[in-house]
Amino acid sequence: MPLIEFTDKGLYCPQGGFYIDPWRPVDRAIITHAHSDHARAGSGAYLCHRLTVPLLEWRLGVAAEAVQGVEWGEPVFMNGVRVSLHPAGHIIGSSQVRVEYQGEVWVVSGDYKTEDDGISGAFEPIKCQVFVTESTFGLPIYDWKPQPVIFGNIQDWVVGNREQGKASVLIAYSLGKAQRLLSCLEPVTEKIYVHGAVWNIHQALVNAGVALPPVERVMPEMPRELFKGQVVIAPSSAEGSPWIRRFQPFAVGVCSGWMQVRGNVRRRNADAGFALSDHADWKGLLGAIEATGAEKVFVTHGFQATLARYLNERGIAAAEVKTAYGEDEEGGEPTDKEEKEAAHE
Amino acid sequence: MNNNYRGGMRLFAELVVLLGTSTKTNDKLDALATYFASAGDADKVWVIALFSGRKPKRTVNATQLQEWCREATGLPAWLFEECYHTVGDLAETIALLLPQNGDEAETGYSLADYLRQLVQIGKEEEAVKKELVLRCWRQMNKEERFVFNKLITGGFRIGISQKMIVNALGRSAGVDAAIIAHRITGDWDPATTTFSTLLSEEGGGGDLSKPYPFYLAYALEEEPAALGDPAEWQAEWKWDGIRGELICRGGQLFVWSRGEELMTEKFPEYQAWRELLPEGVVLDGEIIGLRAGPGAAESGEGANVVVGQDGNAGVTESDETVGLDFVPLPFAALQTRIGRKNVTKKNLQEVPVGFIAYDLLEYEGQDWRNRSLTERRAQLETIIGSVNHPLLQLSPVIRFRDWEQLAVIRQSSREVGSEGVMLKKKSSVYQVGRKRGDWWKWKIDPLVIDAVMVYAQKGHGRRSNLYTDYTFAVRGGDQLVTFTKAYSGLTDKELAEVDAFVRKNSLEKFGPVRTVKPELVFEIAFEGIAASARHKSGVALRFPRINRWRKDKTPAEIDTIEDLKRMLEVYGK
Ligand SMILES: [Zn+2]
Ligand SMILES: [Zn+2]
């Protein structure tokens, strides 16, 4: 019996009796991070990183008693199986799950990135026999520029917009990218305005003790002049909505790994695209996989067939696994229902 | 900003990025004007050339580029292919795959430097070419590489019209846009033309073949009654060929097409008019396959059309028919001629290509564009009449009493082999580019057929992540027969909906193509239909596109292959 099985409810550890990021309700769920395709409501008990707890409570409405928060590296034993969480570098609280039983070690990556973004915790390579990796950006065309370079580009863009009297609206996921952008924007603007969906996440994190630069929520009664030449962070649901019109004149900059390809920038009808991703790029994926020393690699959501084939050709036994993570086969980042709801405020 | 030598290639690459992402015409115009104000002269000449369809000679091909990139990156061929398919553009794929240089790698080479080097290696061995390309790649950042690769592979499509280039140039040079437009047309070589000569009185070519920019019509969106008094308007058929200009100067005859391509060699039959046309004449008209003479009409392929079946729609003069002295051939026929490198005797016999003249731009070496259409037309009739050659025809004027009558006549467009009616104001001068007001095209409604989607494929470029390219089928007995692909026509929202359907309803996948459950019904519109041995259905459509999504119809209600065959009988000849 393998230590972890791939079932129609999610990744299951029969010996420990728990699931990792299940997509159907189960008794016990270990959650890598709070993005909606990895963390779903309805399970009996949840185990996750301490900083993921307030996010699960806020986003899924999970009762506080049902969630157990742990620190990175802190072991939890379930029927003799040793489980510990380790930084994945994806978003705040995101973790890899290390599962050990009778000397056999599996690591489930969840979503991860290998560059330290300064707020999510630096990705920790963990030795294991079997590694379950994501592959959202598993093609060599995805080769991220270092964060300081992209931040520089975003800052130049913001300053340029202000010189033309335009507000800068940055489109970013309300959980993860939005927090990551704050330290980029703080030096070039007095105030950072945020959409309600971003505001809610921000509050949940600040209340849990995370230190973040201050933001201001965009309110319906705010006069339009207030936003002239200012910086706004909003989720993608705000693009092209009536909500965004109050910033007129403004420029839209989309922050997403998909912006690496010109066609996607054009398709989004954005004025600028910044290839800023919370996922590992091709080199990041290969480096992380190699560092685990794993004998067997399972590749989940994204370019799983491509990455698995490439690993096999390089002498690393790999297989693709179908999961319900990611929007579709391209491993789109999660869509957030609440972002859409908050967009119409 | 420091002086104008800020690495010309970098400057150009930045322009391309800006043009690629700006969504508003004004932003594009600004970007171009700023560029023209800061770039080096040699680079400016090249930019004008590139955006007005003058491509540098190809010295390296796409396959070589691909190979060298694979070698430089060590990627297996299949993986390169996958990347290419995801990106949808070879030049960009390579730019993304090459190892990053960091943004500081600025060499200061200009666009003209690179283009000169590319042209120079034309006759060199492959190894020399490879060395140059690899060296250039090393000197460039991602954006520059993209542009450089695009220059090599050809086909810059950045949503810039020549009109926009002309306006931006006009703005930065302080010269009227119409004058600039004329100066930069014609046959000039960006490698040997300087910026100042290009914009000087003589223009870049200063040559005999220099054409005038075309005046283009807008589509009529309202009822023609809105145009006012019908007596002020001249109506003609809208021909389904290629817009062309015929230039007769210095005892030579040149043919330009709308794409600003010199096509003289493609149509040897035109040379017969060199001696017949007066010196210093430029004609605007349609390059089109033609069979001359009313004899054709008698043999059943006739083009004589009765106007006004109700009897009282008759024209005041005695003729009740719109008679043509020639039979235009379908566009598909012309295509067989254009696609060919060498025109054989047999081609000339099978598809003779003629010219239907509708305007006179130059007469006795004088620019006539500022005279009224009435005046130009009168002179044109005299000229064509005196040439008296079966392949050089005058575009007939349709006589009509009022707009209602013209609407009836328009219904017979397809029978005379035209795609609608052109309306030109009699008092109008010949303008530059697409301008509203004096020229309108009033096309007939397209042919339509209801079909079901059976295959889907991801789009390229702008839509490389969505399933946007579909293949459609009609019913043939108890089977589905595919008959066309169609791309455009859906809103972004509908595209997203169809995309989601494709992902959920894939039956199988071969390569990039998904077979989908035949469930979604669409109305496909097209402009023409021709017999085709290459297609399973036996027909090829012209300009097929999705007219609308028939959510109200089930696959059981789609049209049949017999319906298509019937259309072929009626409209395909
Ligand atoms: Zn995630
Ligand atoms: Zn994920």
The DSSP-derived string for B471-507 is EEEEEETTEEEEEEEE-----HHHHHHHHHHHHHSEE
Residue B390 shares a structural domain with residue B424: yes
- Tell me the CA–centroid distance for residue A297 and ligand 2, in Å: 17
Interface of B with A in 77-96 (CB under 8 A): 78-79, 82-83, 86-89, 92-93, 96
For residue B459, being part of any structural domain is answered with yes
For residue A93, give how far its alpha carbon lies from the nearest alpha carbon of chain B (Å).
30
**Segment B62-71, tens digit of pLDDT:** 899 999 999 9
Residue B245, H or E segment:
strand B242-249
Cβ atoms within 10 A of the Cβ of A24, count? 14
For residue A139, give how far its alpha carbon lies from the nearest alpha carbon of chain B (Å).
7
pLDDT of residue B303: 36
Residue B249 shares a structural domain with residue B345: yes
What residue in A sits closest to B99 (Cα-Cα)?
A: A143
Q: What is the mean pLDDT of residues B481-489?
A: 84
Contacts of B76 in chain A (CB under 8 A): 310, 313
d(CA B183, CA A279): 52
- Around ion ligand 2, residues with a beta carbon closer than 5 Å are A 111, 325
**Crossing angle for the helix pair B90-97 and B62-73, nearest 10 degrees?**
20
DSSP single-letter state for residue A271: S
Q: What is the mean pLDDT of residues B308-329?
A: 50
What residue in A sits closest to B97 (Cα-Cα)?
A: A141
For A261, the closest of B23, B464, B466 (CB atoms) is B464
For residue B334, being part of any structural domain is answered with yes
pLDDT exceeds 60 at position B322: no
**Boundaries of domain holding B365:** 215-443
ipTM for the assembly: 0.92
Q: How confident is the model at residue B89 (pLDDT cuts 50, 70, 90)?
A: confident
More confident residue, A48 or B249: A48
Domain regions of chain A by residue span: 5-140+278-335, 147-274
Q: Write the CATH number for B321.
A: 3.30.470.30
pLDDT exceeds 90 at position A322: no
The tokens of B546 are what? 């999705």
Residue B340 shares a structural domain with residue B457: no
Contacts of A266 in chain B (CB under 8 A): 20-21, 461-462
Which are the contacts of B176, defined by CB distance < 8 A and separation ≥ 6? B170
- Tell me the CA–centroid distance for residue A332 and ligand 2, in Å: 8
Residue B422 shares a structural domain with residue B497: no
Q: What is the mean pLDDT of residues B107-128?
A: 87
pLDDT of residue B527: 80
For residue A324, CA distances in Å to A36, A37, A76, A332, B154 come to 11, 7, 26, 11, 41
- Boundary-marking domain end, from B417, B443, B469: B443
Phi, psi angles (nearest 5°) of residue A332:
-55, 150
- Bridge partners (DSSP) of residue A216 are A193
Give the number of A-B residue pairs with CB atoms closer than 8 Å. Answer: 71
Q: How confident is the model at residue B100 (pLDDT cuts 50, 70, 90)?
A: confident
d(CA A149, CA B103): 9
pLDDT of residue B313: 32
Amino acid in the structure at residue B227 = L
For B82, the closest of A139, A265, A269 (CB atoms) is A139
pLDDT of residue B106: 58
- Tell me the CA–centroid distance for residue B329 and ligand 2, in Å: 58
pLDDT of residue B294: 56
b/e sequence A77-115, b meaning 16+ C-beta within 10 Å: ebeebebbbbbbbbbbbbbbbbbbbeeebbbbbbbbbbb
Q: Distance of alpha carbon B280 from its chain centroid, rounded? A: 28
Across the interface, whether the CB atoms of A267 and B79 are under 8 A apart is answered no
For B20, the closest of A140, A258, A262 (CB atoms) is A262
Residue B438 shares a structural domain with residue B460: no
Q: Distance of alpha carbon B150 from its chain centroid, rounded? A: 20
d(CA B104, CA A45): 52
Number of structural domains, chain B?
3
Question: Which of A70-84, B394-408, B426-440, B527-541 has the highest mean predicted lDDT (pLDDT)?
Answer: A70-84
Q: How confident is the model at residue B430 (pLDDT cuts 50, 70, 90)?
A: very high
b/e sequence B136-145, b meaning 16+ C-beta within 10 Å: bbebbbbbbb
pLDDT of residue B206: 55
Q: Give the ranges where A218-331 is alpha helix by DSSP (H).
A: 262-267, 282-292, 304-313
Residue showing tokens 């003058």: B54
Residue B267 shares a structural domain with residue B415: yes
d(CA B283, CA B278): 11
Residue A173, H or E segment:
none
Residue A127: left if φ>0, alpha if ψ -120 to 50, beta else—which one? beta
What residue in B sits closest to A329 (Cα-Cα)?
A: B503
Q: What is the mean pLDDT of residues B198-219?
A: 75
pLDDT exceeds 60 at position B327: yes
pLDDT of residue B293: 66
Q: What is the torsion angle, in degrees rounded to the nearest 10, for the CA atoms of residue A182, residue A183, residue A189 and residue A193? A: 10
User: Is B97 within 8 Å of chain A by CB?
Assistant: yes
- Please give the CATH topology (third level) of the domain spanning A5-140+278-335: Metallo-beta-lactamase; Chain A (3.60.15)
Residue B137 shares a structural domain with residue B227: no
- Boundary-marking domain end, from B102, B124, B153: B153
Using a pLDDT cut of 90, give the percent of chain B over it.
Answer: 32
Contacts of B23 in chain A (CB under 8 A): 269, 271
Interface of B with A in 196-215 (CB under 8 A): none
Q: How confident is the model at residue A53 (pLDDT cuts 50, 70, 90)?
A: very high
b/e sequence B55-84, b meaning 16+ C-beta within 10 Å: ebeebbeeeebbebbbebeebeeebbebbb
Across the interface, whether the CB atoms of A263 and B503 are under 8 A apart is answered no
d(CA A104, CA A101): 5
| Least confident span in B73-82, B192-201, B398-407 | B192-201
Amino acid in the structure at residue B218 = Y
For residue A273, give how far its alpha carbon lies from the nearest alpha carbon of chain B (Å).
9
For residue B53, give how far its alpha carbon lies from the nearest alpha carbon of chain A (Å).
22
DSSP single-letter state for residue B248: E
d(CA B451, CA B523): 6
b/e sequence A258-267, b meaning 16+ C-beta within 10 Å: bbbbbbbbbb
DSSP single-letter state for residue B312: T
pLDDT of residue B4: 36
Ligand with smallest separation from the Cα of A175: 1
More confident residue, A200 or B120: A200
pLDDT exceeds 70 at position B306: no
- Tell me the CA–centroid distance for residue A282 and ligand 2, in Å: 15
For residue A170, give how far its alpha carbon lies from the nearest alpha carbon of chain B (Å).
15
Phi, psi angles (nearest 5°) of residue B124:
-75, 170
Across the interface, whether the CB atoms of B83 and A260 are under 8 A apart is answered no
> Closest Cα partner for A17 from A97, A8, A26?
A26
- Boundary-marking domain end, from B153, B176, B205: B153
Amino acid in the structure at residue B372 = S
For A263, the closest of B75, B82, B462 (CB atoms) is B462
Using a pLDDT cut of 70, give the percent of chain B over it.
Answer: 88
For residue B177, being part of any structural domain is answered with no
User: Is B249 within 8 Å of chain A by CB?
Assistant: no
**Segment A56-88, tens digit of pLDDT:** 998 888 888 999 999 999 999 999 999 999 999
Across the interface, whether the CB atoms of A261 and B23 are under 8 A apart is answered no
CA Rg value for chain A:
20
The tokens of B193 are what? 């033309």
Residue B261 shares a structural domain with residue B362: yes
pLDDT of residue B547: 85
Contacts of A145 in chain B (CB under 8 A): 100
pLDDT exceeds 60 at position B207: yes
pLDDT exceeds 70 at position B262: yes
**Segment A109-156, tens digit of pLDDT:** 999 999 999 999 999 999 999 999 999 999 999 999 999 999 999 999
Q: Distance of alpha carbon A101 from its chain centroid, rounded? A: 29
Q: How confident is the model at residue B107 (pLDDT cuts 50, 70, 90)?
A: low
Phi, psi angles (nearest 5°) of residue B71:
-65, -45
Is B454:B518 a contact under the CB 8 Å cutoff? yes
For residue B468, being part of any structural domain is answered with yes
Q: What is the mean pLDDT of residues B524-540?
A: 85
Residues found in chain B: 573
For residue B159, being part of any structural domain is answered with no
Cβ atoms within 10 A of the Cβ of B519, count? 12
Residue B475 shares a structural domain with residue B430: no
pLDDT of residue B477: 87
What residue in A sits closest to B158 (Cα-Cα)?
A: A266
d(CA A227, CA A248): 9
When scoring A236, A259, A262, A271 by the number of chain B Cβ atoms within 10 A, the one with the most, hence best to mutate, is: A262
User: Is B20 within 8 Å of chain A by CB?
Assistant: yes
Residue A165: left if φ>0, alpha if ψ -120 to 50, beta else—which one? left
Is B42:B147 a contact under the CB 8 Å cutoff? no
Residue B420 shares a structural domain with residue B501: no
For residue B353, being part of any structural domain is answered with yes
Q: How confident is the model at residue B104 (pLDDT cuts 50, 70, 90)?
A: low
**Segment B457-482, tens digit of pLDDT:** 887 655 567 888 899 999 998 899 99
> Closest Cα partner for A184 from A211, A150, A229?
A150
For B462, the closest of A266, A306, A330 (CB atoms) is A266
Q: Write the CATH number for B126.
A: 1.10.3260.10
Q: What is the mean pLDDT of residues A226-230?
A: 93
Residue B253 shares a structural domain with residue B382: yes
Q: What is the torsion angle, in degrees rounded to the nearest 10, for the CA atoms of residue B361, residue B366, residue B371 and residue B372? A: -40
For residue B190, CA distances in Å to B46, B52, B170 come to 6, 11, 19
- Bridge partners (DSSP) of residue B425 are B233
Instruction: Tell me if residue B417 falls in helix, strand or coil.
Output: coil
Residue B456 shares a structural domain with residue B421: no
b/e sequence B201-229, b meaning 16+ C-beta within 10 Å: eebbbbebbbbbbbbebeebeeebeebee
**Residues of A within an 8 Å Cβ radius of B:** 139-141, 143, 145, 149, 258, 260-267, 269-273, 303, 306, 309-310, 313, 328-330
Q: Write the CATH number for B557.
A: 2.40.50.140
d(CA A12, CA A18): 6
Across the interface, whether the CB atoms of A271 and B87 are under 8 A apart is answered no
pLDDT of residue A340: 45
pLDDT of residue B105: 53
For residue B496, being part of any structural domain is answered with yes
For A266, the closest of B21, B73, B146 (CB atoms) is B21
Q: How confident is the model at residue B321 (pLDDT cuts 50, 70, 90)?
A: very low
Which are the contacts of A149, defined by CB distance < 8 A and separation ≥ 6? B103
When scoring A261, A285, A313, A335 by the number of chain B Cβ atoms within 10 A, the one with the most, hence best to mutate, is: A261
Residue showing tokens 């030109």: B424
For residue B478, being part of any structural domain is answered with yes
For residue A269, give how far its alpha carbon lies from the nearest alpha carbon of chain B (Å).
7
Q: Give the ranges where B88-193 is alpha helix by DSSP (H).
A: 90-97, 111-120, 126-139, 142-153, 162-173, 177-184
Question: Which of A227-231, B38-42, B157-161 has the highest mean predicted lDDT (pLDDT)?
Answer: A227-231
CATH superfamily label, A147-274: Metallo-hydrolase/oxidoreductase (3.40.50.10710)
Instruction: Tell me if residue A72 falls in helix, strand or coil.
Output: coil
pLDDT of residue B511: 67
pLDDT of residue B158: 61
Residue showing tokens 């007596």: B231
Across the interface, whether the CB atoms of A265 and B83 are under 8 A apart is answered no
d(CA B479, CA B498): 23
pLDDT exceeds 60 at position B103: no
